[in-house]
């Protein structure tokens, strides 16, 4: 029945290849890629072997990037321009393999273009410092200078499914801006978008040894990717379990780990309930609720909780969902049927434990309706663990202390949103929440692509992403000193 819907505006079947050693390499063994909405197989990608991993590192290391700042900026600017020209094709591909709605995938392309734009600007900016040395009685007539250098080995980038192109862009663009070499292993659920983006960058002038893309089964190639002697840094975005596994295997090499979240939207009793509910539903349903910084818990002052819930329910009922290619739908599917079943089971468990279902909770394959529950308690799996889908669990508090304790009461520490106008309380939340970001009157996911981004506790080690911070972690800072005067 789903095939009778609107015309599905995308290409025919894609039998893809690795981007390895400057060539497109096919392999006999392949992995299927599915359209989560129709369940149809839409492409295949090769299963790279451990030997392929080794070959990619050798090829990358045989090349020493020498692009000037101007040349790096030009590649990134051209990539941004090409992407804007091909917005529809890029967004179609994301929607095809991820089930994200066209609204969400178009938005993602705008973000990717921003990443390239910021990386181009940052490539032109030299953040070198200089220090006088005659600052103390035993000083000398010298100056100390700093300069940033690319990493001596390869950067391995491993990305999740939830933003098929933007996650990749956040790893690759800062690497290009700093003259590094990357081997990318995209999510096996959405590899087609990553390959498409790599081709766009080659077309924009990126030398092949600076970016290779290996698709495959992580059980087979992950260890070779993480622990190969030619790897200097592993940058990973994904779930906590795999992030901690990478940390345990990486040994004496740098890791940047951007892991899961369980972000609250905290609504105080002075808040405009409708404005807060607006943020709540956007934070909960955009990208099908599959953002590390999606609103995963709504913590609301008990005195306004019923009014807030009513608004959230109205807005949830108006949030259209279904065929992701139908422009009338704001939300498409989640990544696959298995994920949708997990949300369904967790919501059932919460209802059995005393939560009240207010809207949604219907599943059809990988489609899961935007769902609202209240009377949710912190011990329910739905909010104790990260629920990576379009669910709005409403919990209540009676004091600011309790709101802060609830917010801090999970192993995660990624981001947060606060709805209040009280300056004294804003300062308390900024100081006392154990998170990487506090957004006042915004969703936890609010950021620009340039600014520092990342979590603490189980959400990350505190090393940030965002174009500027990623460029710092992708470089070694060298000092040199000269006689002066
Ligand atoms: P995932 O952890 O299942 O997979 C991420 C990547 O790791 C994939 O490319 C996968 O192939 C690879 N992988 C699997 N096993 C591996 C292993 N043993 N060693 C190395 N790599 C391995 O995550 P997902 O389901 O694709 O994405 C959802 C998760 O990502 C959520 O937990 C979400 O919160 C998190 N996320 C975090 C951020 C952030 O910036 N903090 C952003 C987006 C998503």
Look at ligand 1, atom 10, and give the residue with the nearest C-alpha. 187
Task: Tell me how far apart the alpha carbons of residues 103 and 8 are, in angstroms, rounded to a whole number.
Answer: 15
Look at ligand 1, atom 23, and give the residue with the nearest C-alpha. 238
Is residue 1 predicted with pLDDT exceeding 80?
no
Is residue 105 predicted with pLDDT exceeding 90?
yes
Catalytic-role residue among 103, 122, 258, 465: 258
Is residue 5 predicted with pLDDT exceeding 70?
no
Ligand 1 atom nearest 261 alpha carbon = 34
Summarised one tens digit per residue, pLDDT across range 20-61 is 999 999 999 999 999 999 999 999 999 999 999 999 999 999
Q: To test ligand 1's pocket by mutation, which of 160, 366, 387 has the most ligand atoms within 8 angstroms of CB?
A: 160
Are the CB atoms for 472 and 453 separated by under 8 Å? no
Closest by CA position to 261, among listed 114, 112, 410, 362: 410
Is residue 9 predicted with pLDDT exceeding 60?
no
Please state the pTM of the whole predicted model. Answer: 0.97
CB of 261 closer than 6 A to ligand 1?
yes
Task: Tell me how far apart the alpha carbons of residues 213 and 482 are, in angstroms, rounded to a whole number.
Answer: 42
What's the 258 CA to ligand 1 centre distance in angstroms? Answer: 9
Catalytic-role residue among 292, 386, 419, 442: 292
Burial category of 409 from C-beta neighbours within 10 Å (exposed 0-12, middle 13-18, buried 19 and up): middle
pLDDT value at residue 12: 76
Summarised one tens digit per residue, pLDDT across range 448-468 is 999 999 999 999 999 999 999
Helix (H) or strand (E) holding 50: helix 50-61
Q: How far is CA 363 from CA 10, 333, 430, in A?
A: 26, 10, 38
Are the CB atoms for 202 and 82 separated by under 8 Å? no
Summarised one tens digit per residue, pLDDT across range 195-238 is 999 999 999 999 999 999 999 999 999 999 999 999 999 999 99
Which residues is 212 bridged to in the sheet? 183
Strands of 186-337, DSSP E: 211-213, 231-237, 254-258, 263-267, 295-301
Confidence bin at 485 (pLDDT 50/70/90): confident
What's the 242 CA to ligand 1 centre distance in angstroms? Answer: 7
What's the 427 CA to ligand 1 centre distance in angstroms? Answer: 33
Summarised one tens digit per residue, pLDDT across range 143-153 is 999 999 999 99
175-185 exposure pattern, b = at least 16 Cβ within 10 A, e = fewer = bbbbbbbbbbb
Q: To test ligand 1's pocket by mutation, which of 111, 226, 238 has the most ligand atoms within 8 angstroms of CB?
A: 238
Closest by CA position to 94, among listed 215, 190, 238, 201: 190
CB of 370 closer than 6 A to ligand 1?
no
Average pLDDT of the segment spanning 159-186: 98
pLDDT value at residue 8: 58
Report which of residues 81 and 3 the model is more confident about: 81
Look at ligand 1, atom 13, and give the residue with the nearest C-alpha. 218
Is 258 catalytic? The answer is: yes
Task: Tell me how far apart the alpha carbons of residues 455 and 257 are, in angstroms, rounded to a whole number.
Answer: 9
pLDDT value at residue 3: 41
Summarised one tens digit per residue, pLDDT across range 402-429 is 999 999 999 999 999 999 999 999 999 9
Task: Tell me how far apart the alpha carbons of residues 160 and 146 are, in angstroms, rounded to a whole number.
Answer: 35
Is residue 70 predicted with pLDDT exceeding 50?
yes
Percent of the chain with pLDDT over 70: 98
What's the 260 CA to ligand 1 centre distance in angstroms? Answer: 8
Percent of the chain with pLDDT over 90: 97
CB of 247 closer than 6 A to ligand 1?
no
Is 292 catalytic? The answer is: yes
DSSP state at residue 450: T
The per-residue pLDDT of the chain, averaged, comes to: 97
Summarised one tens digit per residue, pLDDT across range 294-345 is 999 999 999 999 999 999 999 999 999 999 999 999 999 999 999 999 999 9
């Amino acid at each position: 029945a789903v095939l009778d819907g609107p015309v599905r505006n995308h290409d025919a079947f894609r039998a893809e290849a690795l981007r390895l050693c400057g060539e497109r390499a096919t392999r006999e063994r392949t992995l299927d890629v599915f359209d989560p909405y129709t369940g149809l197989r839409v492409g295949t990608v090769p299963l790279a072997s451990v030997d392929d991993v080794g070959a990619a590192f050798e090829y990358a290391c045989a090349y020493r990037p020498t692009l000037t700042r101007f040349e790096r900026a030009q590649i990134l600017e051209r990539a941004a321009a090409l992407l804007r020209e091909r917005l529809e094709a890029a967004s179609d591909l994301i929607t095809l393999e991820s089930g994200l709605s066209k609204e969400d995938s178009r938005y993602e392309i705008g973000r990717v273009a921003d990443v390239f734009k910021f990386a181009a600007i940052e490539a032109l900016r030299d953040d070198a410092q200089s220090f006088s040395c005659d600052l103390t009685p035993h000083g000398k007539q010298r100056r100390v200078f700093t300069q940033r250098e690319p990493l001596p080995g390869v950067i391995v980038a491993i990305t999740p499914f939830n933003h098929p192109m933007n996650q990749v862009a956040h790893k690759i663009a800062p690497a290009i801006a700093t003259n590094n070499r990357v081997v990318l292993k995209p999510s096996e659920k959405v590899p087609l978008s990553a390959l498409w983006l790599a081709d766009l960058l080659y077309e924009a002038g990126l030398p092949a040894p600076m970016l290779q893309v290996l698709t495959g089964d992580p059980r087979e190639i992950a260890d070779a990717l993480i622990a190969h002697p030619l790897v200097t840094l592993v940058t990973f975005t994904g779930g906590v379990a795999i992030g901690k596994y990478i940390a345990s295997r990486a040994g004496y090499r740098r890791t940047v780990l951007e892991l899961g979240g369980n972000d609250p939207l905290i609504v105080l009793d002075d808040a405009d309930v409708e404005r807060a509910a607006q943020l709540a539903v956007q934070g909960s349903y955009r990208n099908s609720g599959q953002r590390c910084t999606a609103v995963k818990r709504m913590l609301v002052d008990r005195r306004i909780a019923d009014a807030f819930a009513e608004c959230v329910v109205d807005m949830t009922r108006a949030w259209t969902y279904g065929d992701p290619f139908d422009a009338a739908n704001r939300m498409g599917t989640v990544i696959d049927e298995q994920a949708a079943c997990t949300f369904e089971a967790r919501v059932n468990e919460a209802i059995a434990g005393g939560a009240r279902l207010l809207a949604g909770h219907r599943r059809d394959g990988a489609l899961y309706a935007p769902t609202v529950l209240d009377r949710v308690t912190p011990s329910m799996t739905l909010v104790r663990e990260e629920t990576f889908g379009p669910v709005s669990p409403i919990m209540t508090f009676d004091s600011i202390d309790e709101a802060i304790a609830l917010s801090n009461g999970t192993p995660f520490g990624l981001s947060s949103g606060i709805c209040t106008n009280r300056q004294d309380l804003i300062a308390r939340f900024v100081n006392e929440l154990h998170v990487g970001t506090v957004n006042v009157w915004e969703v936890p996911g609010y950021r620009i692509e340039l600014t520092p981004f990342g979590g603490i506790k189980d959400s990350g080690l505190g090393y940030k992403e965002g174009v500027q911070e990623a460029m710092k972690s992708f470089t070694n800072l060298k000092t040199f000193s000269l006689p002066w005067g």
